[in-house]
Amino acid sequence: MRHDVAIVGAGMAGASLAAALAPHLRVVLIEAEERPGYHATGRSAAFWQETYGGPDVQPLTAASGAWLEREGFLSPRGALYIARFGEEARLDALREEFAANGVLLEERDRAELDAAVPGLRGHWVAGLAEPSCRDIDVAGLHALYLRAAARDGAELRCDSLLLSARRDGGVWRIETRSGPIEADRLVNAAGAWADEVASLAGVRPIGIAPLRRTMVPLLVDPPAAATMPLVEEIGGSFYFKPEAGGRIWLSPHDESPSPPCDAAPEELDVAIAIDRLEQAVDWRIVRHERPWAGLRSFAPDRIPVYGPDPVVPGFFWFAGQGGFGIQTAPAAAQIGAALLLGGTLPESVRSIDAARYAPDRFGG
Ligand SMILES: Cc1cc2nc3c(=O)[nH]c(=O)nc-3n(C[C@H](O)[C@H](O)[C@H](O)COP(=O)(O)OP(=O)(O)OC[C@H]3O[C@@H](n4cnc5c(N)ncnc54)[C@H](O)[C@@H]3O)c2cc1C
């Protein structure tokens, strides 16, 4: 059977787009792994935060938030940026950066920091709270998209690494490890492999760079209260958030360039994370649990890429979701589907300037 659209990659990007397209088009979702969600999607820190990713990403996060909240995928968390003595100006700069976007950011003094995060060391003197930050049920959201896509007839083919794609008479002839596929359009939702998939299809890569990010789960004493916010150092050198059983998930906020791969944590990054935590709080680390790492993939300007390739007809980019591909997925899928279906943007994303994310900004 010939498909209208073949989507490469069944992570959050491919699954959400498949769910949006399946009621209208014959969709096949091509996934290299045995199960979808094995790479970045299955390795996130699972939060939704409007300031994360910068002002150009915030409209996507905000537009996704209303739907995520309504459907029950978000739960209260709150975030707190913390600053050392002498770094208070960075908090002001963040506030100014988001002043036009209407994100509520509230100043916190030292006493308020103590109340929110008991055990903070003395050099943290000021903070900025972002009360709207939420936890996201990533697995639930991904599963919902896959179910919705399947219900509307999309076919998921796992174990189907794309090997090559050739456009011939207006049709993509795609070779995969599980056999050939034909489709009118080819969507690149391959995460860290986005440039590689473009090359396999004879399309010029954009320069989507995979950057490794490490997560370190720790059991701490005193146990982290479930009500503690996501705590982020204003200079971007670490963050941590509470998890079940008094644990925290800690990250050194690393961004190490990596080839696309099954990312694994480096011992040095884990050690750096723990050192930064110990400089931040007076907690005792009771147990190290198994760290993990994943690849966050960024376009050269760190803004996602949604839209048709400016040169090769029938090739559509849905890549560069960086560190915000979960929290922006609902809005991104609505935009991607509208562009592919040729309609106007639906109400939920109408105020977003979709041209901001078009691949032609990188030239032809
Ligand atoms: C440690 C960490 C923390 C994060 N925290 C957050 C967070 O708190 N909030 C948030 O919103 N985002 C977060 N992110 C970012 C988020 O996880 C990603 O933006 C998102 O998962 C990207 O989804 P994706 O579908 O583009 O990529 P992926 O999930 O990587 O999916 C791409 C898929 O394409 C498949 N593929 C690749 N090449 C081929 C091929 N040739 N043939 C067939 N299939 C192929 C891969 O197997 C893979 O399954 C985090 C990421 C990391 C690593």
Round to whole Å and give the CA distance between 166 and 219: 51
The 3-state DSSP class for residue 116 equals helix
- Ligand 1: centre distance to CA 296 (Å): 7
Indicate the pairing of strand 239-242 with strand 305-308. Answer: unpaired
Q: 180-226, pLDDT tens digit by residue?
A: 999 999 999 999 999 999 999 999 999 999 999 999 999 999 999 99
Residues 332/145, Cβ–Cβ less than 8 Å: no
Instruction: Give a three-class secondary structure readout of 196-213.
Output: HHHHHCCCCCCCCEEEEE
Task: Report the predicted TM-score, pTM, of the whole model to 2 decimal places.
Answer: 0.98
pLDDT over threshold 80, residue 364: no
Q: 228-244, pLDDT tens digit by residue?
A: 999 999 999 999 999 99
H-type alpha helices, 109-177: 110-116, 138-151
Tokens for 323? 């560190």
Ligand 1 contacts (CB < 6 A) are 8-14, 30-33, 38-41, 43-47, 161-162, 189-193, 197, 213, 215, 294-296, 321-327
- Ligand 1: centre distance to CA 204 (Å): 21
Residue reference for tokens 């083919």: 157
Phi-psi category of residue 274: left, alpha or beta, with phi > 0 → left and psi -120 to 50 → alpha: alpha
pLDDT at 113 (0 to 100): 98
Q: 56-112, pLDDT tens digit by residue?
A: 999 999 999 999 999 999 999 999 999 999 999 999 999 999 988 889 999 999 999
Residue reference for tokens 């198994």: 290
The 3-state DSSP class for residue 191 equals helix
pLDDT at 1 (0 to 100): 81
**Which atom of ligand 1 approaches the CA of 30 most closely?**
43
The per-residue b/e assignment along 25-41, b for 16 or more CB within 10 angstroms, e otherwise, is bbbbbbbbbeebbbbbb
**What's the mean pLDDT when you consider all of the chain?**
97
Q: Which domains does the chain have, with CATH numbers?
A: 2-42+138-208+300-362 (3.50.50.60), 79-131+209-298 (3.30.9.10)
pLDDT over threshold 90, residue 292: yes
**Phi/psi of residue 83, each to 5°?**
-130, 145
pLDDT over threshold 80, residue 115: yes
pLDDT at 27 (0 to 100): 98
